[in-house]
Structure 1
């Protein structure tokens, strides 16, 4: 079947926009084709520095004829309603049909040629493309990320004719801006197009560009017995900057290696888009870098490397200036400056935030590690953890906040645990980031994140849907991960409001679900009102293992049967209270269950006091057989009131004994 090829060629598209632009192009094309009944067998898009490309396989030559039945007003409706319906369908009253007292319109639409539909689709896509930022140029009204230069659009090897703001469609593509003969080439299908780009020094597929960069960079560094410092984010960016990416190994001034390695890497990455290079044996940086050019230079890239080295030296000279100047002022002496830094209009200054973090750290420290030394160090680290925000280095490289504070604290010869806490108090900043394990660092990190959460919840700035401008979800997950990894027995109710506790519960469910646990089990444990995350997770794990057994699954069924009976009885009036009594002539199954309930209540209590939740579940498992036998042989709703009340008391005991471990009514299994 015919193939559709579309290329939208423009001036440079920012690298950060390219991946989403490819996704948007695919989505918009699929939606518009599907609306016309055209479903391609395959559709793929590509994005690069100067072009968006789409190829769709298996489209029909023309749209199928379509027949639509549309329901109208009732027979006898006012003429105004019927006339409006006729206008919307394009029919006359004689062409309507009547069924069950209602007018129906039968509309036949002959299928249109696919090129006609494609022309309309491309026009709509171009005019409605959701660029984060766009511009107009010349005297036109068309908006595009950068000036749109050319549109290649062919279907079944023929040009799809249309024009958008004076840009006519065609079958001509354009290669690299500088390399080759720079002459346009003709392309009537994707094979010709891809071949033409390759001949004109353009790598179309962004994944292929990434592979080309990494393969060449690894080869260059291996030849010098050094190793590339891999960086996925930087790789994604530089692959969007060059159509013919050509890595070049350059040399930097080795005198700059006495700067913190994070400073060197950040300067390379942020300002120059260079990859750092290290010694594979020691892991230390070496005086080299890898830059990605957009051309194959005649001298093998020597001039490019030399020029880039000069620029890097200038950048690192600036960094050295900040490094030297920042160390002239102690972190403690910078605190006053934080009074002039606004944290949030409704939450005060950064100085006030530091005071809150220090106060929280003082309260949290005994839970993380109950000794006065940890508490004193945590308070010191908390008071200094934001001081680097007013340093020159962090002003230049905001992503180094915390890291630079750690270096400056180290140079001041502060306690190593205080240094570690300042350096790592932002951790974890994402699901793959490490959690601070040292007790002072864990305390300050908890205090920092809890202050963020408590403060923004207090002013009702909570996440809504996909909107989370203050990264509160990330902060809550950070708190949870620190607590669980450090085994901190923190009573969250002491620090969090009810809505924040619910937020923690939701984030814990997300975390445990990613680890394979069921969210309903988290609900079943949270329903007990516990706020100790370590204990909650232990309960969830034990509950999950218990319900995976036959005893657990069958006991859950028995529990739900008992609860349903009790709910039905509660509608009639209060349930009987007290312990079940010994009834003369009671069935043995009733007496057996009463005996087991007494034993299980005692043993479950002992297990729970030791927080041995697995043992508590094993004790509950002893109820399975007597509960099954009870429901099999005993009639709860006896005609004898005393028997009925006694048996209801027995079911209340079963429900309450199991309810000490978890709220089994929340379990969906």
Structure 2
């Protein structure tokens, strides 16, 4: 909420300053556990004087029209200016002082602040996330006086609630405010708090030959919990290190906000942790460390209980429990979903060089840990615990790894599995999710994506591309997923689902390639060919991108668009001529003949290149058309008065468009 509040404060302040006509050089916000700060540099002393001219009715207009204009402007008839028979009102507005405008802005911002959660405190009317204690409002070192819900603005604030002096103190400006707060053990900038945490935590670990386990998400969280963060190294009972390290780390992170510590000399965690306190204890933090160690031991004892009990149960009872858990009202239970994923994984396995029997078995076990005690306590460990339990129950490593990693990739920064068995199960899992929710018409809308279908589609795309999986999305993946859902009631027919899912994949692929610097219109140009092999599509896009970056590519695109426009215009008049392009006609220009031979040669070369998926060679073949096309348009009149000449030239342009259209739909390309 803190970083969101900082962004909201910046946005709301910028909007109100702009509306008031106030310019500024820079606007900066800071957020912490007890204070929200806005600093505006370069504000003028007042808004500029403004003069606005409004055009009114003609001087000869009816009296009613004139009266309406006078009411709108607040002027009298003799104050209007007449030019060329038209009346104008010139309205002058004196600038307002900045100090006079700020109170209203701050009041609006505070009272309409979009906290995700807020409440009314005491007997006032203000709703706020926490009780508002003080408002410091300064402009040019002078207090801007105003009052909000009984709280009077001023120039005084106070420091850290435990380490500070306990006495309010006055500040002159932001630099003074920041410096005095730091002396009172308050760091207002989250970047400073993060740096203090990292430096002190790493030093504490280094001093005993250990290393801090980096966790950016936890760092963000603890930097928002303390105004003067003080890392303290604590000890953990070594007996807990026989638990899976993910369990130890998650117990520390989720329940206690502790950083884990690892052994530099050996793989694995060390029996220590780092807790971030909000005080500098007189004993160096020994008592704090001891107390936190006892709390952590209690948490880890709970985790040990789940670990021990789960290993007594096994996959069988868990799989039975999934029959009683609804996945979605229209998509059946989790057991139904497992059946679909298993069938789909078996279909996909040969395409990724995995064993179908193993793929089906791994898929049937992949969701079992959802019924385990450990995953019930730590949902973040789904899959991970399944992998540990699979090894404990004697399953092969390949199956255990597939269970552990089948949720991957879960985001743009997550790694992509490469083991064939894992790829098969992961693809089956994500395809079932996508096709299932599209089938029941639960598609993402706008910014809403409650079932994370965008993430699932991007996961499929990354799995396919980074593993070079040659699969037809329509005939291979989506149709197989639909077949696995044969018993599910669907709101739309299979062809509609297939079309919608393919369009969804195209949109996600555009996002992915755009992030890599590729143009989205090139994806449209390739998808328009009806190809749904993602590996082949990306190769086409990359070759097309490189081709269009050359002079030959750019000029040929222009020639294509010119030819296409001519053909479209002629199509409106009637059907285009068909048949073979003729050469050697009487008085046929040399440029026409050369283009005919070049187009025929390019067609042969392009077909050969596409057959072997050598898209660079296909672009090279198209590049040979650039000079003949340029010469043709330069020297030849397409719409000849001789019908035979006109028809032949239209057929030639159609041939050029057809050859280029085998590589991509150049009509979809901007430029």
- Pairwise same-fold verdict (TM > 0.5): yes
Structure-2 separation of matches of 1:76 and 1:167 = 57
Q: What residue number does 2:207 align with?
A: 223
Asked whether 1:592 is paired with 2:573, we answer: no
SS in structure 1 of the partner of residue 412 of structure 2: coil
2:554 matched residue in structure 1: 553
Cα distance change of structure 1 residues 55 and 549 upon mapping to structure 2, 3 Å threshold: closer
Which position in structure 2 is the counterpart of 1:7? none
- The aligned counterpart of 2:521 is 520
Alpha-carbon separation, structure 1, partners of 2:18 and 2:558: 47
* Distance in structure 1 (CA, Å) of the matches to 2:346 and 2:153: 69
**1:655 CA displacement:** 1.3
- Could you tell which deviates more after superposition, 164-173 or 588-597? 588-597
1:99, distance to aligned residue in structure 2 (A): 6.4
With normalisation by structure 2, the TM-score equals 0.92
CA contact (8 A) 1:583 1:643 kept: no
Aligned with 2:323: secondary structure? helix
Residue 489 of structure 2 corresponds to none
Greater shift after overlay, 235-244 or 89-98? 89-98
Runs in 1 of length 4+ with deviation above 6 angstroms? 72-85, 98-103
1:277 to 240, 253, 261: 261
Q: Which residue of 2 aligns with 1:609?
A: 611
User: Residues 137 and 657 from structure 1, CA distance in 2 versus in 1: closer, same or farther, beyond 3 angstroms?
Assistant: same
Matches within 5 A, 1:346-495: 346-369=330-353, 374-494=355-475, 495=478
* Map of 2:102 onto structure 1: 118
Q: How far is 1:591 from its partner? A: 2.8
RMSD: 2.2
Aligned to 2:237: 253
Cross-structure match for 2:221:
237
Equivalents in 2 of 1:335, 1:246: separation in Å?
Answer: 46
The Cα of 1:639 is off from its aligned counterpart by 2.6
Aligned with 2:22 (options 34, 38, 61):
38
1:182 and 2:166 matched: yes
The Cα of 1:96 is off from its aligned counterpart by 5.4
Deviations 1:567-607 (A, max 9, x none): 22212211111112343433333333333333322222222
What is the rounded CA distance, in whole Å, between the counterparts of 1:143 and 1:538 in structure 2? 56
CA distance in 2, matches of 1:280, 1:269: 21
**How far apart, in 1, do the equivalents of 2:281 and 2:181 lie?**
19
**Deviation string, structure 1 residues 264-296 (Cα, Å, up to 9, x no partner):** 111111011000000123331000101101010
- Residues of 2 paired with 1:618 and 1:563: CA distance? 21
Cα distance in structure 2, aligned partners of 1:78 and 1:331? 89
The answer on whether the counterparts of 1:332 and 1:384 sit within 8 Å (CA) in structure 2 is no
Q: Take 1:402 and 1:597, find their aligned partners in 2: how far apart are those partners?
A: 56
- Any residues of structure 2 matched to 1:499-538 within 5 Å, and which? 499-538=500-539
TM-score (norm 1): 0.93
Q: Give the Cα–Cα distance (whole angstroms) in 2 for the partners of residues 506 and 309 of structure 1.
A: 50
Shift of 1:97: 5.5
- Contact 1:338–1:387 (Cα < 8 Å) also in 2: yes
Alpha-carbon distance, 1:504 to partner: 0.8
Compared with structure 1, are the counterparts of its residues 508 and 101 closer, same or farther at alpha carbon in structure 2 (3 Å cutoff)? Answer: farther
Aligned length: 650
SS class of match (2:134):
strand
Q: 2:275 aligns with which of 284, 291, 297?
A: 291
**Which is worse superposed, 167-176 or 151-160?**
151-160
Against the structure 1 CA distance between its residues 235 and 84, is the aligned structure 2 distance closer, same or farther, given a 3 Å change threshold? farther
Offset of residue 565 of structure 1? 2.1
SS in 2 for 1:147: coil
Structure 1 distance, partners of 2:227, 2:3, is: 15
Alignment equivalent of 2:652, drawn from 628, 650, 653: 650
Partner of 1:543: 544
Alignment of 1:87-102 (within 5 A): 89-91=73-75
1:98 Cα offset (Å): 6.2
Alpha-carbon distance between aligned partners in 2 of 1:281 and 1:73, rounded to the nearest angstrom: 87
Mind listing any 5+ residue stretches in structure 1 that lack a counterpart?
A: 1-16
What secondary structure, in the 3-state scheme, does the structure 2 residue paired with 1:340 have?
coil
CA distance in 1, matches of 2:360, 2:2: 46
CA distance in 1, matches of 2:41, 2:104: 19
CA distance in 1, matches of 2:72, 2:132: 37
Contact 1:275/1:291, CA 8 A, preserved across alignment: yes
Per-residue displacement from partner, 1:16-53 (whole Å, max 9, x unpaired)? x1111111112211221221121122221111110001
Could you report, residue by residue, the CA deviation over 1:63-115 in whole angstroms, capped at 9, with x for unpaired residues? 33333445567879898887776666555566556667776554433333322
Name 1:4's counterpart in structure 2.
none
- Aligned in 2, Cα 1:77/1:163: closer, same or farther, shift over 3 Å? farther
SS in 1 for 2:376: helix
Q: 1:345 to 1:635 in 2, by over 3 A?
A: same
Report SS of the residue matched to 1:382. Answer: helix
Q: What is the match of residue 629 of structure 1?
A: 631
Q: What's 1:12 paired with?
A: none
Q: CA deviation at 1:229?
A: 0.5
CA distance in 1, matches of 2:597, 2:69: 76
C-alpha displacement of 1:362: 2.1
Q: d(CA) in 2 for partners of 1:438 and 1:430?
A: 19
Distance in 2 between the 1:143 and 1:559 partners?
62
* Alpha-carbon distance change, 333 to 576 in structure 1, aligned in 2, over 3 angstroms: same
Taking the TM superposition and a 5 Å limit, the aligned residue runs for 1:8-157 are 17-70=1-54, 89-91=73-75, 105-157=89-141
**Partners of 1:511 and 1:351 in 2: how far apart?**
33
Work out the CA distance in 1 between the residues paired with 2:542 and 2:408: 26
Separation in 1, partners of 2:232, 2:72: 64
Tell me the distance in 2 between the aligned counterparts of 1:102 and 1:632: 53
**1:318 and 2:302 matched:** yes
Secondary structure (helix, strand or coil) at the match of 1:432 reads coil
**Which residue of the partner structure matches residue 165 of structure 1?**
149
Cα distance, 1:348 vs. partner? 2.4
The 3 A distance-change label for structure 1 pair 56 and 590 is closer
* 1:14 matched residue in structure 2: none
**2:247 and 2:58 mapped to 1: Cα distance?**
75
